[in-house]
Chains A and B, each alone.
Chain A
Amino acid sequence: AQSVTQLDSQVPVFEEAPVELRCNYSSSVSVYLFWYVQYPNQGLQLLLKYLSGSTLVKGINGFEAEFNKSQTSFHLRKPSVHISDTAEYFCAVTLRGDYKLSFGAGTTVTVRA
């Protein structure tokens, strides 16, 4: 099974500042990569996904992520955060041909005014 490491458990950030959430996965031949967001008291919502093609993936709410095969990383970024971005963010991976996801431990982002 794949393993996913999210390197930061808590990320405090000021409003309008940039944020980067780091994610590394265990090496494999072909993987699909995902970022999900969980707002307080809600289920998970897909933020963006990498399946193939361009290594820079754009998602909803101004987020983007870059797939780096040599570093086995899939870091999430946003150039300017809002208070409403306060949430927990999960990185997930699956092998091509599989349908089970392996999730990281999550990163809690707290945006302050």
Chain B
Amino acid sequence: DVKVTQSSRYLVKRTGEKVFLECVQDMDHENMFWYRQDPGLGLRLIYFSYDVKMKEKGDIPEGYSVSREKKERFSLILESASTNQTSMYLCASSFDASGTYLPYEQYFGPGTRLTVT
């Protein structure tokens, strides 16, 4: 079974703090994604990565950055947290080079509920 884990289920941070959200997958997936989920808006893509050290902006990258130094780990960074970044953050991964997992079939972690006060 594919397993995608996220470092925290719940996180409370203060405005202006630097925040790191970590995601690890164990299936040698090439692609990794960060989404935020807000009521009535569904999931919106923040950033994605299709290879180590490679990243591309999604639909809402402002206020976020990412890091992928190792294939299995994808970090989301809030450089200076603000209250409008209070949300549920979901990590996902897809696609392995051997073809066992298809590129468009994403597997999700349990989410991190971030509250910025």
Residues of A within 8 A of B (CB): 1, 4, 6, 9, 32, 34, 36, 41-46, 49, 90, 94, 98-101, 103-106
Contact = CB atoms under 8 A, between A and B. Distances in A.
Contacts of B43: 44, 90, 101, 103
Interface string B82-117: 000000001010110000000111111111000000
Interface string B31-51: 101010000111111001010
Given A43-B110, A99-B50, 7 more contacts: A42-B110, A43-B90, A43-B109, A44-B92, A94-B104, A99-B103, A105-B42
Contact of B104 (A43, A45, A98, A103): A98
B41 A105 contact: yes
Contact of A32 (B90, B104, B110): B104
Contacts of A41: 110
A42 B110 CA distance: 5
A95 B50 CA distance: 17
A41 B31 CA distance: 24
Contacts of A105: 40-42
Contacts of B58: 100
